[in-house]
Amino acid sequence: MRKITHYILYILIACTALLNIQCSGNGKEKTPLPELVHAESVMFDHPDSALHILEDMPMPSARWDKENHALWCLLVTQAKVKQLMKISSDSLVRIAYDYYKPTNNARRKAMSALYMGGVNYNLGNIEESIRFYLEAKTEMEKTNDYKLGYLVMSGLGRIYLYRNLIEYAFEACQSAYNYSVKDSNLRYQMVSLQYLARCYCLLNNLDKAEQVYEQSAELALELKNNDFYAVVQQELALVYIAQKRFYESLEVVQTLQPSFQTYLLRGQIYLCLSKADSALYYLKKSLRTDNVYTKRSVYKTLYQLSCDSEFNIYMKEFCDSLLFYTDSVMSLDKGKEIIAYKEKYDHQKLITEQQRLKLEKADAQRLLFIITICLIVVIAVVAYLYQKRLVRKETTIRKQSEQLQDYMLQLHEYETRLMQNNRYMEELKEQLSGQEMNSEELHEYREQIDSLQVENSRLSEKINSLQHHINDYSSKLDKARREADKFRNLSEENLYLKQRERVLADYVADNDRLVKELREKCRVLENKEWEALEDVCESVYGNFVTRLQSFCPTLTKQELHLCVLIRLRFGNAQLATIFAVSPASISQKKFRLKKHISESLKNGLPEEMTLDRWITEF
């Protein structure tokens, strides 16, 4: 039996080690060099200073100091990207990406994937860029870095916008704005609002787009960013044109610095206001641009203008130019359309692959969970058998001890009577020798002495018999005591296994995804999440919910939820957040629940017994 116990312990230790390996990292991270720490601390506000620090320091060895070398490569790329410097290859940031990918450092993994995506996008590798951005998104969600969250989601949203993937773009831009709000970064909020407004325009929700553009413009004024303010106002003017608010659009455009885009806007507005001469003047000025898309828009507007009888003479010229630039744009858009469809396919394929990996991971965790439960059941059965055998042995020892005590008492009684008989015989013999007696008295005295001798002989036989029994029981009792000591040791091992079982059960419960999430940040739960918590308690703590409902069928659903959270060892402050009440209300709920449970007990709960202790020991 002891060997079986050892085998069970070895299996438990192996399972625990596997769990630890699965949940732990790859070891302690090396402390970065002081120059790298300094450069990273000034990176967001002063990327030029960070790059100067990185270029002045000796580059860490790629062979002997891989971690600091990888961090140096990542920070150099980050500083160059922030200063809009041209990067001709992703070889530098790939060093950091390859180093951090197999580690558990989610923030570094997300950053390296983010800049791999940004560099590849600038190099024209759109498919690779989206893959890296999505990988950065997956790792970023494991951190609480709001700046990183904004950078990842805004980059992803920008790509989706330019590829006309509206649904994906809106989701990414909304997420980027949420991260910028959490980070309290006005510049990030300003840019993400502009992207959101563009999404609303593409979704044909112009009223919402106008509102969001105005919010972005207010932030630009607050930050005194005149260039960005001009871009936002220009896009807002386009919204006014789409809403046929031409005078408001003209007022906005007149406040902007002259450019090919503003000339085009003025021309379009004047055409809508039936001011053909002014429209022709500004449209011809906007033709000086080299942008194919702008020229197509200009000639499209000029063609509309030539429909006026006054400008019919220009119709052929404008029509030919419009067809030429339309063909050019269609050629470009056709390539982009093919890329967009392929990106949609690759994106959906990547999402499907991620879902498959999640399912495989969930299956592995479920299998490990089932194995752990089976081990716990085996331990419980073995412990029960040990305990039952130990109780039986202790009962036998107790009965033998009681029988031995009875023999000892009888022996003491017989020996006492024997001693008294011997003393009386001595007295009788003295009387016989010291006095003169007639024959009758002498006969009487001798009869008494003979009677005492017979009784003594009988007592001696009983004493010998008792002594034999005592010796026999003593040997048996010593053996039983040795066996009792053996089983007592097994009982101690049993207690140790039970303690290990309790620790292992708590460990399994704590590693549940929902429980781990609630420990990190409590929130109000949905019905499905309550059911998930009940399933965890039901599986890990031996049908806890079923036993509790059988014991007290009148428990309400809320009281049952409270019992589940207490069994999972949540504190009052966490309970208050989950139930969306004050800590004082949680204390009142516990008081009423204890009273309710006490009524189900025959003798009630003792005053010194707390509700938490009772539920934990239930």
3-state secondary structure string across 64-105: CCHHHHHHHHHHHHHHHHHCCCCCCCCHHHHHHHHHHCCCCC
Contacts for 446 with CB less than 8 Å, ≥ 6 apart: none
Contacts for 534 with CB less than 8 Å, ≥ 6 apart: 545, 560, 564
State the average pLDDT over residues 469-491. Answer: 56
**How many angstroms separate the CA atoms of 209 and 323, rounded?**
32
**How many angstroms separate the CA atoms of 218 and 54, rounded?**
36
**Is pLDDT of 2 > 50?**
no
Q: What are phi and psi of 349, to 5 degrees?
A: -65, -40
Nearest to 170 by CA among 147, 217, 203, 208: 203
The conformation of residue 58, written as its DSSP 8-state character, comes to P
State the average pLDDT over residues 418-426. Answer: 67
Residue type (1 letter), 117: G
**Is pLDDT of 553 > 60?**
yes
State the average pLDDT over residues 496-511. Answer: 75
Three-class HEC string of 116-158? HHHHHHHCCCHHHHHHHHHHHHHHHCCCCCHHHHHHHHHHHHH
Nearest to 581 by CA among 522, 518, 530: 522
**How many angstroms separate the CA atoms of 415 and 462, rounded?**
10
pLDDT for res 217: 86
Residue type (1 letter), 15: C
pLDDT for res 480: 44
**Is pLDDT of 210 > 50?**
yes
CA angle 215, 221, 227 (to 5 degrees): 105
CB of 31 closer than 8 Å to CB of 523:
no
Better-predicted residue by pLDDT, 319 or 227:
227
Domains (range + CATH), the chain: 144-150+161-257 (1.25.40.10), 259-307 (no CATH), 350-510 (1.10.287.1700), 513-617 (no CATH)
Q: Is the dihedral of CA 197, 202, 206, 208 positive or negative?
A: negative
H or E element, residue 226: helix 226-242
Better-predicted residue by pLDDT, 302 or 138:
138
**How many angstroms separate the CA atoms of 540 and 562, rounded?**
17
**Is pLDDT of 447 > 80?**
no
**How many angstroms separate the CA atoms of 510 and 507, rounded?**
5
DSSP per-residue letters across 329-357: HHHHHHHHHHHHHHHHHHHHHHHHHHHHH
Query: What is the token pair recorded at 413?
Result: 């009684």
User: For 208-239, b where at least 16 C-beta lie within 10 A, e where not — what string?
Assistant: ebbebbbbbbebbeeeebeebbbbbbbbbbbb
Residue type (1 letter), 248: E
CB of 539 closer than 8 Å to CB of 371:
no
Better-predicted residue by pLDDT, 383 or 471:
383
**How many angstroms separate the CA atoms of 185 and 177, rounded?**
10
CA distances from 333 to 121, 261, 325, 338, 432 (A): 18, 21, 12, 8, 146
Band (406; pLDDT cuts 50, 70, 90):
confident
**How many angstroms separate the CA atoms of 192 and 170, rounded?**
11
> pLDDT tens for residues 268-323?
777 777 777 777 777 777 767 776 666 677 667 776 666 666 666 666 666 666 67
**How many angstroms separate the CA atoms of 268 and 246, rounded?**
9
Residue type (1 letter), 330: M
Task: Please tell me whether residue 435 adopts helix, strand or coil conformation.
Answer: coil
**Is pLDDT of 114 > 80?**
yes
Radius of gyration of the chain (CA): 45
**How many angstroms separate the CA atoms of 5 and 366, rounded?**
26
CB of 578 closer than 8 Å to CB of 522:
yes
pLDDT for res 491: 47
Tokens 């009524």, residue located: 599
CB of 256 closer than 8 Å to CB of 233:
yes
Band (416; pLDDT cuts 50, 70, 90):
low
Residue type (1 letter), 92: L
CA angle 291, 294, 297 (to 5 degrees): 150
pLDDT for res 219: 87
Q: What are phi and psi of 57, to 5 degrees?
A: -80, 150
State the average pLDDT over residues 228-246. Answer: 81
pLDDT for res 27: 43
State the average pLDDT over residues 417-445. Answer: 61
* pLDDT > 70 in the chain, percent: 73
Band (338; pLDDT cuts 50, 70, 90):
low
Average pLDDT, the chain: 76
pLDDT for res 155: 87
DSSP per-residue letters across 540-582: HTTSHHHHHHHH-TT--HHHHHHHHHHHTT--HHHHHHHHTS-
Residue type (1 letter), 259: S
Band (26; pLDDT cuts 50, 70, 90):
very low
pLDDT for res 421: 64
Residues in the chain: 618
Better-predicted residue by pLDDT, 341 or 515:
515
> pLDDT tens for residues 62-81?
778 888 888 888 888 888 88
Contacts for 67 with CB less than 8 Å, ≥ 6 apart: 29, 30, 32, 99
pLDDT for res 424: 58
pLDDT for res 221: 85
pLDDT for res 145: 86
Band (239; pLDDT cuts 50, 70, 90):
confident
The conformation of residue 24, written as its DSSP 8-state character, comes to S
pLDDT for res 306: 67
**How many angstroms separate the CA atoms of 163 and 177, rounded?**
20
pLDDT for res 460: 80
CB of 494 closer than 8 Å to CB of 386:
yes
**How many angstroms separate the CA atoms of 192 and 150, rounded?**
9
pLDDT for res 317: 65
Report pTM: 0.47
Cα separation of the two ends of the chain: 29
CB of 195 closer than 8 Å to CB of 157:
yes
* pLDDT > 90 in the chain, percent: 0
CB of 453 closer than 8 Å to CB of 428:
no
Query: What is the token pair recorded at 35?
Result: 């120059």
Tokens 């007990």, residue located: 601
Residue type (1 letter), 304: Q
pLDDT for res 24: 39
pLDDT for res 20: 45
